[in-house]
Amino acid sequence: MRAVVAASALIVVGIAIVVTHEGWQAAEAFDRDPMAEAVVDVRGNLRVPGDYRTSYQFLGSWAIAAGSGGGSKEIHVVFASPEAADAYRKDGHFPDGTVLVKEVYGATTGEMTTGSVSRADNLKGWFVMVKGDASRFPDNALWGDGWGWSWFDTTNPRETTSTNYKFNCKSCHVPAQATDWVYVDGYPVLKR
């Protein structure tokens, strides 16, 4: 409930500040999804939502192999806004306003009683995607192919270091184009 109230407050503040017709359309575009409202401003800039660990659904995690030394070099942990997984299972697409948050951790590998184990260590940053049409934010190069895309370093979850989704984000997702640009195979909760 607190997230919905905070998101509603953001809309009111955003609409009060917006004076252009384009800004109004951008703010209005996310009226239907309070989770997206809290993540996207009126210019289409994204930020890491503050409550995703408690209000979003855990989708799954990935271990990125370290290469020749064994173990993992990174662990990726992914969350989706409420009801996104249910919608994806229903028709194979994420609904407009879906927010995905991927935590990227450096990994540590060591021996345990169960064998060699890799675990998440230091948080490197977040990758955030918001489902929505790029026409909402035509002047923002972080929107396209049905999503808003942004990387955030741990030092500032409110300001992306990405400048253009085509160069900073999309190339990693090309193999997942058929599944709405998301590697759904790693997320058992999305199995249809």
Q: Each residue of 113-151: pLDDT tens digit?
A: 998 899 999 999 999 999 998 888 999 999 999 999 999
Confidence band for 69, pLDDT divided at 50, 70 and 90: confident
Cβ-in-10-Å burial (0-12, 13-18, 19+) of 22 comes to middle
- Give the separation between CA 81 and CA 35, rounded to whole angstroms: 7
Looking from the CA of 128 toward its CB, the CA atoms found within 13 Å total: 32
For 29-42, what is each residue's pLDDT tens digit? 344 455 566 799 99
Return the structure tokens found at 106. 């450096």
Say if residue 53's pLDDT is above 50. yes
Buried b or exposed e, range 102-115, using 16+ CB within 10 angstroms: bbbbebebeeeeee
Say if residue 93's pLDDT is above 80. yes
- The residues spanned by each domain of the chain are 47-183
**Topology at the third CATH level for domain 47-183:** Chalcone isomerase (3.50.70)
Give mean pLDDT, residues 167-181: 90
Say if residue 4's pLDDT is above 80. no
What's the N-to-C CA distance of the chain in angstroms? Answer: 30
